[in-house]
Amino acid sequence: MSTEISAQTLTFLRRGRPVTLDNVAPDRTLLEVLREDLHCTGTKEGCGEGDCGACTVVLGEAVDGRLEYRAINSCIRLAHSVEGLAVWTVEDLAGDDGELHPAQEAMVQCHGSQCGFCTPGFVMSLFGMYQNTKGGQGIDRPRAQADLSGNLCRCTGYRPILDAAQQMGDLPLPSGCGVNEAATVAALKALPNKKKEATTYLRPTALTELLQLRTAHPQAQVVAGCTDVGLWVTKMHKRFAQVLDVTAVRELRRVEAYPHHIAIGAAVTLTDAYAALVKERPQLKTFAQRFAGLPVRNSGTLGGNVANGSPIGDSMPLLIGLGASVVLMRWDAKRRAVAHRELLLEDLYTGYRTNVMHPDELLAWIKVPRPTAGEHFKAYKISKRFDDDISAVCLAIRTTVTNGVVLDVSVGAGGVAATPVRARQTEAALRGQSWTADTVMAAVAALRAEFQPISDMRASAAYRQTVLGNLLQRYWLESQGLQHINLDTLNAATLEALA
């Protein structure tokens, strides 16, 4: 438990009623507050890093007069980030008379629990799915697998849990188990606005205010979802006397469409950001679902992922391949106005988790070009585990081929250098050349020679170099119509044909 270094209070909604806690330090996690202050011990700590899902809870936020539900990992979510939101734990689902919610009853009927440690997290992910599908209606197997990808179980195997996801929509909702959405929205609106008293956990709602706070408090730890900073707290035991949270800034929570690009605000969750990218390029659906698990995507933001700059983060190679740029903003005190500059995403980084941002600057927008005529784009992720895992290698390739000649090409790579990188030498080997097997094999050699990856727990250097070339060759084969090597199109009929 963190030492109480702050008198700042925390207020959120639980069971339709406000909960106010005093002296919550800015670096305390939501899991700590739930277990230690509210004694909600159904919420478990398994991994402490957002990988296992045992700590899953559901947040509710009033958006345009209705509730939006998101299952998130409470172990790496800072407690003050739920100020003014509704929070559900596994203790909140059953009715007053003990009757089980359909998400719980389905797990019982389908024998989805064995040792039970992971069960509360699964139930909360099921509850989030239940609320987001109007009572669990129309949940098929792929939806269940995708939404439960952030929950791990070591006992039962996943079949009975997936069965429960599909069955809960057929079960009656006992009296007292449902969410009164209108009353909850009204109660959220009635919560006090405590921005003025905030001194250690700063969560502004306007862009100008955010930038002014950044100038005034350059030492504050910036957070935008906490899916990485949360690990600094739980694994590295870092302490933060002051935190600046960007996720409530209205302007940065939007995805804006323009004729030649879309602009994704830094506070847009990974779930919503990837939904916008998939809308533009549907072939990215599987890649998007493989970015961590749903609870991580529901908390984390695209802006946070990019600003963090991890060399094994999936978003950056994807965005580099798409030719994305970033907009950095700061408060110009002399002009009393917002100043900004724009640069290509790959030019943001100077080294391992270091970048060109000044102490008073924040990453505000990611601008992603829209698809162009003749564009062919794919992104590949190689990891030990298919779901909810970190990449060993990530490669994103975009080409425009006209009359058999590569007119334009961009290649983004991750897991092969100290930063996410653009494969410029490989692009040079392709640009202006005939789109043939010989050209591709020359580019494969260039790609393998362009980077000197390291060996670590995820892969050896030799493996990474080999895989880089293989993925480029796979991209070529797919562009020539060979689709059965692609997991997106692999199905039972294809497997039978290959047998």
Query: What are residue 275's DSSP bridge partners?
Result: none
Residue intervals of the chain classified under CATH 3.30.465.10 are: 203-371
Q: What is the pLDDT of residue 198?
A: 83
Q: Considering the entire predicted model, what is its pTM?
A: 0.94
Q: What is the pLDDT of residue 499?
A: 39
Query: What are residue 341's DSSP bridge partners?
Result: 328
- DSSP-derived secondary structure for 189-223: HHS---GGG-SSEE--SSHHHHHHHHHH-TTSEEE
Name the token pair of 335. 């002009």
Residue intervals of the chain classified under CATH 3.30.390.50 are: 373-499
393 and 471 Cβ atoms separated by less than 8 Å: yes
Q: What is the pLDDT of residue 489?
A: 64
φ/ψ region of 283 (left if φ > 0, alpha if ψ in -120 to 50, else beta) reads alpha
Q: Return the half-sphere exposure (C-beta side, CA atoms, 13 A cut-off) of residue 65.
A: 0
Residue 146, phi then psi, degrees to nearest 5 = -65, -45
Q: Percentage helix, strand, coil, to 5, in the chain?
A: 35, 20, 40
Q: Sign of the C-alpha dihedral, residues 105, 111, 116, 119?
A: negative
373-499 classified as CATH 1.10.10.10: no
Residue intervals of the chain classified under CATH 3.10.20.30 are: 1-193
76 and 227 Cβ atoms separated by less than 8 Å: yes
Q: What is the pLDDT of residue 301?
A: 98
H-helix segments, 134-202: 141-147, 159-167, 181-190
Q: What is the pLDDT of residue 1?
A: 42
Averaged over successive runs of 10 residues, the pLDDT of the chain (499 residues) comes to: 64 96 95 97 96 97 96 97 97 93 98 95 98 96 94 91 97 94 96 83 97 96 94 94 96 98 98 98 95 96 96 96 98 95 98 96 98 96 91 97 97 97 98 98 98 95 97 96 73 46
Per DSSP, the three-state class of 144 is helix
- As a whole number of angstroms, the distance between CA 392 and CA 468 comes to 10
Looking at the domain 203-371, which fold is it? 3.30.465
- Which CATH number is 1-193 given? 3.10.20.30
Q: Quote the longest CA-to-CA distance of the chain.
A: 72
